[in-house]
Amino acid sequence: MQLSSEKSLPFSRRIREGDAESPSLNPALYRPTTETKGGVNFQPVTFHNNRLIILDQTQLPRRIRYLNLKNYRAVAQAIKTLQVRGAPLIGVTAAFGLALEAQNCSKSDQRCLSHLRKAAKFLKQARPTAVNLSWAIDRCLQKAASVSSSQIKKTVIKEAAKIYHEEEARSFAMGRFGAKLLKKNGRVITICNAGKLAAPGLGTALAVIYTAFAQKKNPLVYVCETRPLLQGARLTAFELTQTGIPTILITDNMVGTVASQVDLFLVGADRIAANGDTANKIGTFTLSIIAKYFKIPFYVVAPTSTFDLTKPDGKAIPIEIRSSAEVTTIQNLRITPKEVMVFNPAFDVTPNSLITGFITDKGIIYPPFQKSIKKVLGN
């Protein structure tokens, strides 16, 4: 196969003045562990000295821009516009958004909890599909409700940091479990972005690839560009190449052509129903059908925080419909006649029958999913 390559931008180039506030990596509420270090060292979200800093993912890979989010409304806006994105990272960032609101509470403020509830409601509506968002917010709220007013501020900040650490640890665990499935020189297809930009630590689907790479298995990754917003081309290709992992970018309609050359499909998830039906970036369902046709294993890589046992199946998962401008334009350039109608669902649902297994932080879950998911996650 003939490949063309373009030199990728060095991640470590100087942050432009005015663009950026470099987050401190000094002792903080959370700190990257040694496993996170190595390869590309960037922090998509940092909460330190009561300041929430995010890496603006809409600008990548052209520009490294950090934003200081001052309140929960700014956090919700950043989530809505995909400046911060990826299911686990959305959850963590929203939890820090609540922590920002909690900081405004004085020790004697009896209305602190109701302020937090209002902020929680606002944050939850930012994006409907990734369950990590409401899961992380509800966890912080529950903790806040269980302590006296004087303790709320400290408690919410602590809980948000705890969620961050847990998600980070989950990513390493998924990486270790999943890497066992990848043989030496294994070839993988992935879609959207499920790496270090999408979750604390190593991400989800890419955690498996980073871990296999660290184990010298020499993986090769086919990355779907992921229209309409190109998370694959902009973010996944960037993360992988900057880590030195051989990466081949394909457009989404090339998967059928390259599928026979790969060993494994690895995708992330935004919400997994009790029966294993899985919502993930639009296009994932198509990949699963192609995988089935070629009899190639199709694994969903997701932390236990992405399972939603309150939803019996995929039909119950809310699917986000986004602006038509995301389809009619590419990087703000209009590419269509303006009269055209557009359908732009951000996610699709892959039925459980097309999924080989779930690589989770608690191990790999195999069919029958109705039983095995419940067994691993509890009731």
Q: Is 350 in the site for ligand MRU (CB under 6 A)?
A: no
Nearest residue (CB) to ligand MRU, 120 versus 346: 346
Query: What residues numbered 187-226 form the site for ligand MRU, per CB under 6 A?
Result: 192, 194, 198-199, 203-204
* Amino acid in the structure at residue 107: K
- Of 23, 97, 201, 268, the one binding ligand MRU (CB under 6 A) is 268
Output the six-digit token pair for 69. 């989010």
C-beta atoms surrounding 237 within 10 Å: 22
**Residues 21/34, Cβ–Cβ less than 8 Å:** no
Which residue among 141, 237, 245, 346 contacts ligand MRU (CB under 6 A)? 346
- Told to check if 314 binds ligand MRU by CB under 6 A, we report no
Cβ-based nearer residue to ligand MRU, 40 or 113: 40
Site map (CB under 6 A) of ligand MRU, residues 7-46, x = contact: ----------------------------------------
Q: What are phi and psi of 181, to 5 degrees?
A: -85, -15
* Least separation in angstroms between CB 175 and ligand MRU: 13
Q: What number of CA atoms fall less than 13 Å from residue 19's CA on the CB side?
A: 13
DSSP state of 366: -
DSSP state of 345: B
- For residue 155, which of 236, 74, 222, 101 has the smallest C-alpha distance? 101
Structure letter (DSSP) for residue 39: S
User: Which residue number places its CB atom closest to ligand MRU?
Assistant: 268
Cβ contact 149:137 at 8 Å: no
Minimum distance, C-beta of residue 165 to ligand MRU, in the bound complex (Å): 17
Which of the residues are catalytic? 270
- Candidates 222, 211, 186; CA nearest to 301 is 211
* Closer to ligand MRU by Cβ: residue 21 or 35: 35
Smallest separation (angstroms) from ligand MRU to the CB of 89: 7
8-state DSSP, 51: E
Residues in Cβ contact with 83 at an 8 Å cutoff, skipping those fewer than 6 apart: 54, 56, 57, 58, 67
Residues in the chain: 379
Q: Out of 239, 270, 277, 361, which residue is the one contacting ligand MRU (CB under 6 A)?
A: 270
Q: Which two tokens stand for residue 142?
A: 């529950």
Quick one: 156 or 174, whose CB is closer to ligand MRU? 174
Closer of 157 and 225 to ligand MRU (Cβ): 225
Among 153, 271, 281, 311, binds ligand MRU (CB under 6 A): 281
Q: Which residue of 52, 87, 144, 287 would you call a contact of ligand MRU, by CB under 6 A?
A: 87
Per CB under 6 A, residues contacting ligand MRU are 82, 85-88, 130, 192, 194, 198-199, 203-204, 231, 268-270, 280-281, 346
